[in-house]
Amino acid sequence: MRNKELFERAQLTTPGGVNSPVRAFRSVGGTPRFITRAEGPYFWDAEGKRYIDYIGSWGPAIVGHAHPAVVKAVQTAATLGLSFGAPTEGEILMAEEICKLVPSIEQVRLVSSGTEATMSALRLARGATGRDKIIKFEGCYHGHADALLVKAGSGLLTLGNPSSSGVPADFTKHTLVLDYNNAQQLEDTFKAMGDQIACVIVEPVAGNMNLIKATPEFLNTMRRLCTEYGSVLIFDEVMCGFRVALGGAQSLYNIKPDLTALGKVIGGGLPVAAFGGRADLMAHMAPLGGVYQAGTLSGNPVAVAAGLTTLKLIQADGFYTSLSAQTAKLAQGLTQIAQQAGVSFCADSIGGMFGLYFADQVPASYAAMMQTDKDQFNRLFHAMLDGGVYLAPSAFEAGFVSAQHDDAIIAATLDIARTAFAQY
């Protein structure tokens, strides 16, 4: 009962007993697992039970938990000091590596969280264009900055309404929320008010309404319109950057955004994120320009050491070929097992990300995702959890495979899935 006891204790001093909402298991029900350690593709809870982990700290653990090279880099960096509040060579090395791997990024600014990265990119786009309005898409999550916590209105150009208490409507009145993968709606919006739009921000591979891929038409339309109207195109690759390919989703789609937000993998498990892009845009950032952003722990030397080591590891020959193959093997295996059990289910994958859907076909939008069977997912989640497989505790979150999920791990997962789907 240790997990239950810890959860009850945590609720006395922490709202909901957790420090990030999805961890509370509110969507799936039951008691959260309190994790004590992790290694490779596994982690262990407070009761000593081992799980095959398919969240990987929500993406960063792409080389597996506690990779020896990453741990060694962190230990070495820690012996030299934990934080300086002054520049380090490690920050330069990290920036150089990011610019090398993501050609659209000519200059980059390091921050500590994905929310900081997207929030700062948004401010930069507004500062550079002198415009206020922004476009985001329903179902895409870009962190908890006020202007981005918005739900869609009922009409095409309805101004966004706050989807969180504590966010004044005035903060979101310039945020337009459109349908993901709807190129025509994007065309119509730019035609109506293109000269007022500072930027479009999008997850080219969405991971917070489960895994949903953008269509090439959708992203190409976005790129063309932003160029035509002088708006800034921001790719939020906090989740999919270095997760789906070495150059991020933009390398798969062959589209060059003006700004990119990164996180997760570039921290290797520690808090590092970044935003960057065209040098002329980045020149608007203080101390060169008038767009202000700062952070005491930005470029923290210990975190940078973890991230830089991870970025080196993922450049090994065949890394992404193997990662993509293992993730596809998992998705295809689960689909086959479910179909054999007569369950309406499908799965999809890209790089090291995957999505599970209780539906006849893979959703392409938030509205389609909302039509999937959440109750069926909750049943699967608990059956897999009981069997020793930890999936994301929500039907609306993507899953993640690491380089340590070998054939034996995938096979063990599918064996547990057969037992789970047999109960349907």
Based on the residue annotation, tell me whether 141 is a catalytic residue of this protein: yes
Judge whether 227 and 260 are in contact, CB under 8 Å: no
End-to-end CA distance of the chain: 28
- Which of 52, 48, 78 minimizes the C-alpha distance to 64? 52
Other CB atoms within a 10 A radius of the CB of residue 30 amount to 15
Q: What is the CA radius of gyration of the chain?
A: 21
Q: What does DSSP assign to residue 60?
A: T
The CA–CA distances, whole Å, from 132 to 77, 135, 161, 197, 373 equal 42, 10, 16, 7, 38
User: Which residue among 51, 141, 366, 390 is the active-site one?
Assistant: 141
Based on the residue annotation, tell me whether 424 is a catalytic residue of this protein: no
User: Which residue among 179, 236, 258, 348 is the active-site one?
Assistant: 236
Distant-in-sequence, close-in-space partners of 62: CB < 8 Å, separation ≥ 6? 56, 242, 243, 265, 310, 314, 323, 352, 400, 402, 403
Q: Which helix (H) or strand (E) holds 108?
A: strand 107-111
Based on the residue annotation, tell me whether 312 is a catalytic residue of this protein: no
Rounded distance, CA 23 to CA 17, Å?
9
Q: State both tokens at 177.
A: 């929320």
User: Which residue among 258, 264, 366, 390 is the active-site one?
Assistant: 264
Judge whether 3 and 45 are in contact, CB under 8 Å: yes
Other CB atoms within a 10 A radius of the CB of residue 43 amount to 23
Any idea which residues carry the catalytic annotation? 141, 236, 264
